[in-house]
Amino acid sequence: MILLSLSSVGAFLCSYVFDLTMDNAEQFLAIAAVVLLDGFFGVIAGIKREGFKTYKALSVLRTLGVWWIILGTILAVENGFEVGWLSETIITPFIAFQLLSALKNASMVGLIEGEVLNQIIDKYDNHKGERTPKKK
């Protein structure tokens, strides 16, 4: 009886998560696209700066997983309390900052040129350092 109860609860949770992700697949895919784009350019920039580091490359997958869990939780709260604006309010700024980070990484690699873009991104995202190290 206990095994049957546990399998019923597990089946309910799995079907709920499946329905939640399939109903909002565009949001999950948007987060994946933005995180992977930023990670792709970030890994290339890291290779140019300090060589390939596996733990930094794998941190892209960790970031993706964490944001998928956050999005899933937000969507569950939206469905439970019938609040339709919560995911857009929380996730949209994340997507904007990730896109800016991807632009910064692409400019650090040298794929994007443009002095105005570089000045804007440098003011926003200065914890990564400069695109090209200063020569001594």
pTM of the predicted model as reported, rounded to 2 decimal places: 0.75
Confirm if 131 and 108 have CB atoms less than 8 A apart: yes
pLDDT of the residue at 130 = 61
Task: Supply 33's token pair.
Answer: 């696209």
Confirm if 77 and 12 have CB atoms less than 8 A apart: no
Per residue of the chain (136 residues), give pLDDT as tens.
899 999 999 999 999 999 999 999 999 999 999 999 999 998 888 888 888 888 888 899 999 999 999 999 999 999 888 888 888 888 899 898 888 888 888 888 877 776 767 676 677 666 666 655 444 4
Closest by CA to 71, choosing from 56, 96, 89, 97, is: 89
Q: Which helix (H) or strand (E) holds 25?
A: helix 25-50
